[in-house]
């Protein structure tokens, strides 16, 4: 039977939290998926669905105690329901609600934050907040999160999900079989380090990222293993956490901020990709700090992040994620037309700038050829 998390839509909507690319261990369940069919591979873009199955890894500073629960979540118009499908040992079953509370950070009230952010941006975010409630940042296992975003380099959500699934199935422990699919735990750093070579990881589809992961595991082992990542949760300065994570091979500022925000309780971390960069330039760069910028230097990255942090005083990373969700095509249907029109207008202006830049570059090259002849 399903149990009630007793959390209203304003505080949590799995459809706007699990489906946006901050975590990769959930799968959507469609009505015809029960009980014998193969599960879809990803929750990405499934905002119209109402049920998901996920593997939540629970660890602490003593990573040898890491374990996993498998849960089904069901979104209803009034609340979120959950059902435990696998949980070792027995006491964990009774703690499943507490585990999910921690995972979704339900101890942090979301509705007051929505109100604060809406007051800080009454022009755009307030409109988005009205139509996309319950967007939360998860507090996932930091080791799994680090590996997940190492896989994200030059990649898309389905391929990232496929890579992580291959790691689980090759090096994890079987947890439960649902229909035709067996779900596996995520291996610990120690387990993966002891068993996987770079070639092994390439063989399961990691590509050049295999080298990153091998070197990252060595560095993490030298720092004390997974326990080191948990110590970063105690750091209150997101910039310090960013720098600490960038010591791992393949981790740049964006990946570091993803790991910090989605697993280390760094609520003010701002991962900056092209969507966030465009949001900053379009909606918050009132003083023109980013005008004419052509590359993302460390200084520009920090200035871009500060545009969000200075406006949204508390949990700026959560606010930035709400704005990010509105940029996703899967959520466009719920947005007010005025917000869509602003997005389209900006896109058209940007396209014209790119076209003009290409034409100017072409004309410059033709002029150089004429000069040479």
Evaluate whether 198 touches 211 at the Cβ level (below 8 Å).
yes
Half-sphere exposure of 98 (CA within 13 A, CB side): 6
227, with CB counted inside 10 A (0-12, 13-18, 19+), is middle
Distance CA 26, CA 183 (A): 11
Pairing of strands 174-178, 80-86: unpaired
- Rounded alpha-carbon distances, angstroms, from residue 94 to 59, 85, 87, 100, 334: 17, 13, 9, 12, 37
Give the catalytic positions in this structure: 254
Distance CA 159, CA 156 (A): 6
Q: Which pair of structure tokens corresponds to residue 22?
A: 């901050």
Evaluate whether 172 touches 97 at the Cβ level (below 8 Å).
no
């Amino acid at each position: 039977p399903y149990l009630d998390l007793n959390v209203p839509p304003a505080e949590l909507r799995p459809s706007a939290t699990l489906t946006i690319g901050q975590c990769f261990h959930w799968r959507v369940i469609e009505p015809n998926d029960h009980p014998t069919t193969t599960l879809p591979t990803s929750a990405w873009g499934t905002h119209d669905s109402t049920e998901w199955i996920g593997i939540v890894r629970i660890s602490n500073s003593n990573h040898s105690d890491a374990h996993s629960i498998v849960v089904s979540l069901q979104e209803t118009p009034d609340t979120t329901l959950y059902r435990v499908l696998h949980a070792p040992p027995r006491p964990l079953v009774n703690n499943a609600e507490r585990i999910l509370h921690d995972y979704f950070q339900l101890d942090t009230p979301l509705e007051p934050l929505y109100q604060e952010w809406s007051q800080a941006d009454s022009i755009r975010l307030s409109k988005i907040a009205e139509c996309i409630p319950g967007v939360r940042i998860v507090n996932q296992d930091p080791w799994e999160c680090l590996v997940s975003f190492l896989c994200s380099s030059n990649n898309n959500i389905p391929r990232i999900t496929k890579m992580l699934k291959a790691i689980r199935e090759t090096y994890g422990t079987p947890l439960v079989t649902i229909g035709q699919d067996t779900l596996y735990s995520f291996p610990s750093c120690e387990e993966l380090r002891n068993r996987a070579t770079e070639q092994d990881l390439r063989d399961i589809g990691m590509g050049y990222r295999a080298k990153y992961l091998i070197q990252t595991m060595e560095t993490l082992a030298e720092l004390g293993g997974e326990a080191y990542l948990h110590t970063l949760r105690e750091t209150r300065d997101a910039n310090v956490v960013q720098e600490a994570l960038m010591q791992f091979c393949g981790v740049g500022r964006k990946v570091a901020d993803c790991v910090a925000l989605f697993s280390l309780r760094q609520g003010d971390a701002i991962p900056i990709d092209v969507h966030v960069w465009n949001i900053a330039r379009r909606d918050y760069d009132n003083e023109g700090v980013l005008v004419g910028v052509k590359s993302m230097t460390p200084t520009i990255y920090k200035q871009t992040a500060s545009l969000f942090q200075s406006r949204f005083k508390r949990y700026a990373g959560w606010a930035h994620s709400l704005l990010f969700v509105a940029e996703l095509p899967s959520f466009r249907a719920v947005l007010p037309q005025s917000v869509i029109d602003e997005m389209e207008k900006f896109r058209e202006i940007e396209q014209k700038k790119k076209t003009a830049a290409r034409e100017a570059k072409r004309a410059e090259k033709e002029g150089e050829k004429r000069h040479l002849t």
